[in-house]
Structure formats: structure tokens, C-alpha cells
Amino acid sequence: MLTSRARRSAAATLALAAAAVLGSATATTTAVAVPARMPEPPPADEARDELADLTVEAPHPMAGYSRAKFPHWIQQGADCDTREVVLKRDGQNVVQDPKCRATGGSWHSPYDDKTLASASQVDIDHMVPLANAWRSGADHWETPLRKQFANDLAHSQLIAVSASSNRSKGDQSPDQWSPPDRTYWCTYSRAWVDVKHLYDLSVTQAEADQLVTMLNTCG
């Protein structure tokens, strides 16, 4: 049986392999297969084990950071970019034009329990923000892995939420910002921890403490 650290190393290797594939084939003619909703993060007990395995350290400096170093939103096939794929995945009765742009539908924002009637009201949030990832270890990555991270449809990293909640969150960690709707704290903390574990990112002590509090809402 793999240890938690070995699992994390294997997951990081898989992420790097996926990044290499993504970097060599960002435009295809076949739409990417995605689940019906954001992939479910692991259960709370597994998330607690993953959290215990993360490195706890001070944030890395922001020197050199730019969102452009995390290429997004990339083409996912059939004229659809990552944003449009997530809008379709997370919405209800979504209508798209020939360019894959959402022209109708509705979306539920789990961060603040709001229902949104227009795609213009929706942001696609990076569960672990790009700048937070930079402070947590992505400052040492190469571009292909940053691209994979910024467009990761296979894990619980991308989610459609209200623009207001996404902009309130910004690049803050859970100790600085948590979803106003506390019923989502369990899912949010499980997803946050799993993404950080998969990509071998660090946490601060305050961040880890808040994640423990949020995971405790899972029961």
C-alpha cells in the first residue's frame, strides 16, 4: 500500500504527464469529456489524511507572479474553451451558440446560495486561486503544469459561482475567506485540500487550522 506521501508523489507525476499532453494538444476537433458536475473531492477522512501530509510553511514571495504564467482559458475542442465547458457542466438547461458561448440557462452558486440567470453573472473560480498556488509552490513550476492546473477539469479545481462571491474571494486562502454559505464548507475544504495535495502545494499554519475547522463540519 502506498504511503500518503507516495500517493502524493504519484499524483504529481500524473499531473505532470497530463500537463505534457495538454501542452502538445490544446486545440482539437473533439470536445473533451467532462463529468455532469464538478468532480467530487475525496471524503472528509481522506481529506484529513491529505491535509496532514501537506507541508506547512510561510507563503512564497509574489515576485515574478503573473496570471499570464497560468495560460487559461484554453481550447477544449469544438470551439469550446475551459470557461464554456464549465458553464455547460455546472448549469441547468444551458443553451450555447455555434461558438460554444452560453446564451441561456441558469446556475446555482454554492458559495453564496444564489441562483444566476445569465452567464454574465457567473465566474469560473479556481478553487485554489492561481496567486495562492504561486505562493504555495507553483512559483517553481514550468508553464505546462501551470496550464494544467489552471484548466483542470479532472479534479475539483474549477467551479461556476457568482461573480460577486468569486471577486470577494480573490486569491485568499480559507483562513482569509470562506464561503458565506457554511453548508458548503465541507465540500469546499475537501476540494481545497485535495487540489493542494494533488499538486504538492503547501499550506500556512492559519490555513491548515481553518481547514480543520471546515472539515469538522462534514460530520
Q: Where do the structural domains in the chain lie, given as residue ranges? A: 4-218
Q: How many whole angstroms separate alpha carbon 163 and alpha carbon 13?
A: 33
State the Cα–Cα distance between residues 198 and 194, nearest whole angstrom.
6
* Phi and psi based region of residue 69 (left: phi greater than 0; alpha: psi -120 to 50; beta: remaining): alpha
In sequence order, which residues have a C-beta less than 8 Å from that of residue 181 and are 6 or more positions away?
A: 110, 111, 112, 113
Q: What local confidence, expressed as pLDDT, does residue 219 receive?
A: 82
Q: Is 192 helix (H, G, I), strand (E, B) or coil?
A: helix
pLDDT of residue 62: 98
Q: Three-class SS string for 47-60?
A: HHHHHHHCCECCCC
Cβ 26 vs Cβ 193: under 8 Å:
no
Burial call 169-180: b when 16+ CB within 10 Å, e when fewer: bebebbbebbbe
Mean pLDDT per block of 10 residues along the chain (219 residues) reads: 40 46 39 74 98 98 98 92 97 95 97 98 98 98 98 98 98 98 98 98 98 96
Retrieve residue 3's grid coordinates.
504511503
Cβ atoms 87, 94 nearer than 8 A: yes
pTM: 0.87
The pLDDT, as a whole number, for residue 79 is: 86
Q: How many of the other CB atoms lie within 10 Å of CB of 148?
A: 25
